[in-house]
Amino acid sequence: MEWLARPELEQRLQTRLHQGGLTPGQPLFVAYSGGSDSTALLAALVALGYPAHALHVDHGWHEQSPAWADFCVAQAHGLGVPCTVLHLPPETTGEGPEDQARRGRYALLAAQLQDGDVLLTAQHQQDQAETFLLQLLRGTGIAGLAAMPWQKPLGRGQLLRPLLQVPKSVMLDYLQEKNIPYLQDPANQNPRFDRVRVRQQLLPLLQEMGWQHAVETVARTAENLGDVHALVDDWFAIYWERHRAAFPHLRDNALSLHFLRELSPAMQRMFLRGWLQQLQVPQPSQARLAILQKALESNGGRCIQWAGGACWLQGQTLYWWGSPEFAEDWQEGPWHSDEPLPFAGWECRKVKALPPAYAHQALTAAVSGENLYWRRRQPGEKACMASGEHRPLKKIMLEAAIPPEWRAHMPLLWDSRGHLLLIPGFYTAPWARAVQGSAALCFTRH
């Protein structure tokens, strides 16, 4: 009877947390903006007996930010909850103010989590519906239309959204019943933001046109597509392992054209999207993806570019072109394996047992005692092979699929006898590759 007497919000929250394996008494972090949604979540958690710690991100974008932070600290303390205020760095990047705020906020929150920590956020059913409609109008694919997952990794911990199936009205009723104050951000009423227009104009229009339960049904559609997206991810994982097994010599940023050509056009698109998503790079438009697919019929020497990304076809391989992780002003000169590398983004360490995945970017201990030095390519230069043959450095770089505009600035590791040993991330001299179990110098990205 006591359970049934609890407000609806507390009942639904407890049920969802129980499904996530959480029990009263387990400490939880809460992303706390001071608005109605996060305030209702924080108050309901306290009522259910969960020790909570509020995390408030001060974006610092308007003059009221410090006052809002003070309100959140006071409100949290009034509930018996500690509150930590985090400040958004001014150099936060993103596609517009909303995206900048979201990216920066989650980066700050993730940094607070240790192993096993759980962070709760207060997105609800209407947020789910709004996100679906925004992504639909942007022409996104299944990944964009799929529902926000209610549980996913974040930093070293886990992110939970336990209220995604809860109507916003339930949260407002809870605050009114408990007489709990909360902040109202003027930005949530500003029609220059896409989400505000969807909330204030599009969803009400759908309801006026007869779809009274538009929020609920749109959110349910997003959840259904979330299942489809999970199946697509599972399919990609299976085919990715097949690709790795068949072509173990290829790096994660390279695909075999032989493998891709065995897939149907639709499966090619699915696999390419999954590959780019795995690399965490921007997805091409449908038109650019069609051009990329057409290029797969050729054998190389072609670059396919789109906003934020590019692929290079060379020989029977498709390569992703990432951004170089070293500055062009790095210093040439002698180098010992105990010293830092003269360029940023990479590190070198001595290892005895080397995972096979790193074999392409490690050197055996046989060269660790050599006099080594880093320098750039020189025009018309040739590299001495173990056999004594001299091969054009241009040809080695071409075979390694190094983008032409990078070649003049790439750091090259040489020994005193003129052997080219390593181009980080692209090439390791075949005769100097590490063998499983051998001591080696292993070069890895930070």
Q: Is the pLDDT of residue 303 over 50?
A: yes
Report the pLDDT value the prediction gives residue 355, as an integer from 0 to 100.
Answer: 57
- What the chain holds in terms of domains, given with CATH numbers, is 2-219 (3.40.50.620), 247-320 (1.20.59.20), 333-445 (no CATH)
CA 199 – CA 126 distance, rounded (Å): 8
The whole-number average pLDDT for the span 71-92 is 89
- pLDDT tier, 1 (very low <50, low <70, confident <90, very high otherwise): very low
Q: Are 314 and 301 in contact (CB under 8 A)?
A: yes
Q: Are 191 and 101 in contact (CB under 8 A)?
A: no
Q: Kindly give, in sequence order, each residue whose CB lies less than 8 Å from that of residue 192, ignoring residues fewer than 6 positions away.
A: none
- pLDDT tier, 337 (very low <50, low <70, confident <90, very high otherwise): confident
The whole-number average pLDDT for the span 8-13 is 95
CA 4 – CA 184 distance, rounded (Å): 31
pLDDT tens digits, one per residue of 15-64: 999 998 888 888 899 999 999 999 999 999 999 999 999 999 988 777 78
pLDDT tens digits, one per residue of 200-220: 999 999 999 999 999 999 999
pLDDT tens digits, one per residue of 240-258: 999 999 999 888 889 999 9
pLDDT tens digits, one per residue of 359-387: 556 676 455 556 889 999 998 899 988 78
CA atoms within 13 A on the CB side of 428: 24
pTM over 0.85: no
Q: Are 316 and 257 in contact (CB under 8 A)?
A: yes
Report the pLDDT value the prediction gives residue 188, as an integer from 0 to 100.
Answer: 79
